[in-house]
Amino acid sequence: MPSRPSQAQRADTEAENPVKAAAPAEGLFKAVSSSRVSQLIVDQIRMLLKEERLQPGDRLPSERELCTQFGVSRVTVREALRSLEASGLVEIRLGARGGAFVTAPSSRRVGEGLADLLSLSPLTATEVTEARLVFELGIVPLIVERAAEEDLDALRALCDEHAEAVKQGTYDMEMSADFHTRVAACTHNGAIEMLVQSFHGPLLMSLREAQSIEPQMGHRGSKEHRKFVEAIAARDAEAATEIMRTHLQRTASRVKGDGRRK
């Protein structure tokens, strides 16, 4: 009696005989040879995505087929796929209908990568606040133009929550950072939202630095947040810009000259 295939053999069989799902044509990949083979595989797939020869939703060939096309071992292919998965460019699904599927990198995933870089950079509170003056004032016209009623409702709800926190003595700089992040979302621009999300860590660092200099920081600022929202509701870009400028310059004045690296 023939022996039954092992679980690993069955998994390989499933991977090698997947359900049809827009697999790229044969010959799409080139054999590689290097001490960093897996990275060259990753680079090839990234380039194919950039050239749109691979599209989100495409299913990559089985591991065995990739081994043949790249001319490498299965271990190397799996290492490359893990790297692509960690980058958010590939999703690994298990089972008979599983495999490696191309995905579109989300703004959240990209923002996390930028956030890591910013968090590890030797930024000062002064540098962060200067950047905020340029960036946050620059997006005010878009906010005034594009903020929908649901955006205004959400911002007003935040202002109510923060005003109550001020009364209770529980207002913190995380709340302030959340307000500014939600304001940026009113632009309905994915790139702007991604940048603001990635900047959350440095933003919070600068706000906390300012609060360490002025412990009551936030009481006045939360009132300015509400005034800013009402200027947006009135579609008054000039007034909204001036309110935000005053708001940010107060933080800048508190951290000015801070040469310490965070």
Centre a 10 Å sphere on the Cβ of residue 40 and count the other Cβ atoms it contains: 19
Please give the pLDDT value at position 52. Answer: 82
Cβ-based neighbours of 147, under 8 Å, separated by 6 or more: 186, 232, 233
Question: In one letter, which amino acid is 208?
Answer: R
pLDDT at 243 over 90: yes
Residues 192-219: pLDDT tens digits? 988 888 787 788 888 888 888 877 777 7
- Cα gap 187→248, rounded to integer Å: 19
Largest Cα span, the chain: 85
pLDDT at 5 over 70: no
Residue 15 contacts residue 93 (beta carbons within 8 Å) = no
Question: In one letter, which amino acid is 236?
Answer: D
Cβ-based neighbours of 29, under 8 Å, separated by 6 or more: 41, 44, 66, 69, 70
Please give the pLDDT value at position 98. Answer: 83
The CATH code for residues 108-255 is 1.20.120.530
Please give the pLDDT value at position 31. Answer: 67
pLDDT at 6 over 70: no
Give me the residue spans of the domains in the chain. Answer: 7-102, 108-255
Average pLDDT over every residue of 127-145 = 94
Residues 56-101: pLDDT tens digits? 888 999 888 999 988 888 899 989 898 888 777 888 888 777 888 9
Secondary-structure class of domain 7-102 per CATH? mainly alpha
- Cα gap 221→246, rounded to integer Å: 10
Q: What predicted TM-score, i.e. pTM, was given to this entire model?
A: 0.58
pLDDT at 155 over 80: yes
Sign, Cα dihedral of 98, 102, 107, 113: positive
Percent above pLDDT 90 for the chain? 32
